Amino acid sequence: VVSGAAIALRDRAARAAMFYAFLLTGLALELARAAQAGDECEEVTGSEPNTCKACSAVINGKKYCSQCNSSGSQSAPTDGVCSADNNECTRKQDGKCTQCANKSFMYKGGCYKDSQAPGNTMCETANAGVCTQAKAGYFLPPGTDNAHDSVVSCGDTTGVTLTGDKKYTGVAECVTCTQPGQLSIGGTKAAICTKCAADLYLKIDRGVMECVAESGCGEGFFPTIVDGVKKCAGCSEAGSGGIEDCELCIPRAPAPEAGVKVTCSKCYGQRKISPLKDACLDSCPAGTYDKQNFCTLCHSSCAGCQTDDKETSCTACYPGHSLLYRPTERLGGASRSALVRSLPTVQTGSARLTSGTRSTVPSARRDMPRSTGSVQQ
């Protein structure tokens, strides 16, 4: 015969065992939810409710659930965790949210509230199931709705495809960006990247944006820092340290903090490279001549010259020098002259003499090359 005290003790033990069983079950569920919300989202094979089938939603480097295991359409990701919630995720199919509501928004198969992590790291404000203001590092795809992702990471090259086969993507390794213009027909359009990941440079070439290593800037560009952002600037971008109308250039070493940061090696069209390679000119300045679109210095005594840097190529002299000519042939009584060299002049009283060999003055001045500037004849 079992006493009443023994029966009471047995009942208390049974109730305690049941309590601890419920406690352990709840703890296990909380641990499962914490695992989904932590650094690693655990993928589970099977149909057990509130377990994750795919962890494809990556937010700030962490994986969150993008599809839940479900025998029907009851479980789907809410805030990155599998849940039967119907408040934010109002429609579900195949373990995914297909429509969001209230102050939540869709991202990678789930609905995320704008008021708590991880949703508040992507979206500043949401309304009627759509994000209306993205956080830094994300952009709003134009024309989205509560049945499609309404934020896209600046570095997400997969992006989102909206109604009408309009696809909006990020740029690989881009960390900040702005919204692209809206597509009028089906196609793909990338966000406007404004900054790349550390040690990478933003390059925009014929409308195509990419993040590259310093060596990837390539021909026609040079690596520089503009307003704190590393970028590959075009050789002709004068506002970024380039040279107007310069097609090819070489970075100066060391690079100056301001002003022109390159030397030009080729100008666009028929423009000429200045002697210091710091400008592209319509014509070469005094004291230089055009040598294959590069302004090359004349002889040191020449203010102007024709085809080379020899004295015999002078067409004008600097003050203190005169052109020296000699007759070469006679045609019909007219004396033709050839330039011998540019010689210093000596002022004696009212006479001007050329030191060294006496100059021969040509009889036909129309045949003598004309000097420019303050030339002494």
Give the CATH number of the domain where residue 276 resides.
2.10.220
Q: Based on the domain organization, do 284 and 209 belong to the same domain?
A: yes
pLDDT confidence of residue 320: 82
pLDDT confidence of residue 337: 42
298-351 pLDDT, tens per residue? 998 899 998 899 988 899 888 888 888 755 543 333 333 445 455 555 443 333
Q: Based on the domain organization, do 68 and 123 belong to the same domain?
A: yes
Q: Based on the domain organization, do 278 and 326 belong to the same domain?
A: no
Within 8 A by CB and 6+ apart from 209, the residues are 171, 174, 190, 192, 193, 202, 203
Q: Based on the domain organization, do 212 and 278 belong to the same domain?
A: yes
> Residue 289: inside a domain, yes or no?
yes
pLDDT confidence of residue 39: 55
Q: Please give the Cα distance from 375 to 344 (Å, whole number).
A: 11
> Residue 52: inside a domain, yes or no?
yes
Average pLDDT over residues 195-216: 96
> Residue 215: inside a domain, yes or no?
yes
Structure tokens at 242: 């380039």
pLDDT confidence of residue 199: 93
**Which of 264, 297, 330 delimits the end of a domain?**
297
**Which of 115, 131, 147 delimits the end of a domain?**
131
Is 377 a residue whose pLDDT tops 50?
Answer: no
107 compared with 41, residue with greater pLDDT: 107
Q: Based on the domain organization, do 216 and 250 belong to the same domain?
A: yes
> Residue 174: inside a domain, yes or no?
no
Average pLDDT over residues 1-29: 61
Q: Based on the domain organization, do 320 and 291 belong to the same domain?
A: no
**Which of 265, 297, 329 delimits the end of a domain?**
297
Q: Based on the domain organization, do 285 and 354 belong to the same domain?
A: no
- In the chain, the amino acid numbered 14 is A
Give the residue among 200, 197, 246 at the shortest CA–CA distance from 223: 200
Range of the domain at 110: 44-131
Q: Among 235-249, 252-266, 322-336, 354-368, name the most confident range.
A: 235-249
Number of domains in the chain: 3
pLDDT confidence of residue 7: 66
Give the residue among 192, 172, 260, 267 at the shortest CA–CA distance from 222: 260
Confidence of residue 238 (pLDDT cuts 50, 70, 90): very high
20-30 pLDDT, tens per residue? 665 555 454 44
Would you tell me how many other CB atoms lie within 10 Å of the CB of residue 50? 19
Confidence of residue 5 (pLDDT cuts 50, 70, 90): low
Confidence of residue 257 (pLDDT cuts 50, 70, 90): confident
Backbone torsions φ then ψ of 214, nearest 5 degrees: -55, -40
pLDDT confidence of residue 12: 74
> Residue 2: inside a domain, yes or no?
no
pLDDT confidence of residue 322: 82
53-88 pLDDT, tens per residue? 999 999 998 999 999 997 655 899 999 999 988 899
332 alpha carbon, distance to own chain's centre? 70
Within 8 A by CB and 6+ apart from 270, the residues are 293
CA 78-79-84 angle, 5° bins: 20
pLDDT confidence of residue 72: 57
116-155 pLDDT, tens per residue? 999 999 999 999 999 999 999 999 999 999 999 999 999 9
Q: Please give the Cα distance from 219 to 236 (Å, whole number).
A: 12
DSSP 281-346: ESSPPTTEEESSSBEEE--TTEEEESSSSSGGGEEEE-TTEEEEEEEEEEETTEEEEEEEEEEEEE
> Residue 146: inside a domain, yes or no?
no
Global model pTM greater than 0.85: no
Residues pairing with 160 in the sheet: 168
Structure tokens at 7: 């029966």
SS3 202: strand
Is 31 a residue whose pLDDT tops 80?
Answer: no
Q: Based on the domain organization, do 293 and 328 belong to the same domain?
A: no
> Residue 224: inside a domain, yes or no?
yes
pLDDT confidence of residue 3: 61
* Matching residue, tokens 């080729």: 266
What share of the chain in percent tops pLDDT 90?
61
> Residue 11: inside a domain, yes or no?
no
